[in-house]
Amino acid sequence: MEKVILDEVDRGLIHALHLDGRVSFNRVAAMLEVSQQTVARRYRKLREAGILRVVGLPAPRRSGEIEWMVRLSVAPDAAKTVAEALARRSDTSWVQLISGGTEIMCTVRTVPGNAQGSLLLRELPRTPRVISVSAHCLLHMYFGGPSGWRALTTALTPAQEEQIRPAHAETGGDVELTDSDAPLLAELARDGRMGYSELAAATGWSETTVKRRLQALRRHGVVFFDIEIDEFAMGYSAETWLWLSVKPSHLVEVANTLASHAEVAVVAATTGPTNLVVHALCRDLDALHEYLTERVCSLDAIHLMETAPVLQTLKSAGAARDLGRTAKASRHR
């Protein structure tokens, strides 16, 4: 694939979409002082190159879902096949080959009382060529999701951010997801910027109903918009998961400290033999080594750290894209 070099306009657009995934290109253009056609053209180029995608997602706690971070140890010759099967499921996200391709890490969403979700967790240990499975319930997200990776938010000034930031605050309320929202959520998971006319066609609703429903879900924090980004295009080639064992009385303190680090995209408390998981991204292996030895290891309350480098991402936050294209565009490190 043709290499895409990001310039100031690209980075400004990415920053703007991080703030509001459905912001109009007209507002972004006015803020960046370029034409609307330029912004639209840049977005299409980034999306077609597999560098950027906006996705609309249900907030797990508001939708009643429980998230599990699942690690599978698999035979190396079966890792890709098993990972692709997991990526095709609607209840998974962040399906990645880690640890040199001998492990798979993914997030599985289940609903209490729903047999199908627990079925996946029961069936995984019996899957051919799967050697072992460990599932860690995500207890609390200290940092991540729409507040995500700070490397995406360095292009705009505070004044420019205020021109883009959504006017409404995402707060709790009485609005809840229903079964009739399923087609809407399925389309937003594929393309969070899909137009109201296309969403109306997919749901069978009128454009007015779609717009009103989406605004209500977003306003009450039931649905949020996130961006999937190729971190390699942003200049980051060392991506890893850190599994940390932290003294319980210092867990919140350590989590908040890690969440303040520019290298970190996710900090979450989990069940299991380790109690904190961190998703870190660095410029290269030297920078990763420096981060681990000088910043993470300086936190005395951490008494065990396991690193699991990411080899390939097959599925991010939204719906799985074409796996053939995903494999072609993925970064092998």
Q: How confident is the model at residue 324 (pLDDT cuts 50, 70, 90)?
A: very low
Whole-number Å distance between alpha carbons of 14 and 3: 17
pTM score:
0.85
State the residue for tokens 């910027």.
193
For residue 111, the model assigns a pLDDT of 76
Highest mean pLDDT among 84-93, 104-113, 235-244: 235-244
Backbone angles phi, psi at 128, to 5 degrees: -55, 135
Query: Is residue 322 over pLDDT 70?
Result: no
What is the secondary structure of 33-58 as a DSSP string? TS-HHHHHHHHHHHHHTTSEEEEEEE
| Secondary structure of 15-29 as H, E, C letters | HHHHHCCCCCHHHHH
What is the secondary structure of 61-92 as a DSSP string? HHHT-EEEEEEEEE-TTTHHHHHHHHHTSTTE
Tell me the per-residue pLDDT of 10-44, one tens digit each, with 9 for 90 and over: 999 999 999 999 999 999 999 999 999 999 999 99
Residues 6+ apart with CB under 8 A from 214: 184, 199, 223
Mean pLDDT over residues 307-323, rounded? 85
Query: Is residue 205 over pLDDT 50?
Result: yes
Amino acid identity for residue 84 in this structure: E
Which of residues 70 and 64 earns the better pLDDT score? Answer: 70
152 in Cβ contact with 227 (< 8 Å)? yes
Number of H helices, E strands in the chain: 13, 10
For residue 330, the model assigns a pLDDT of 41
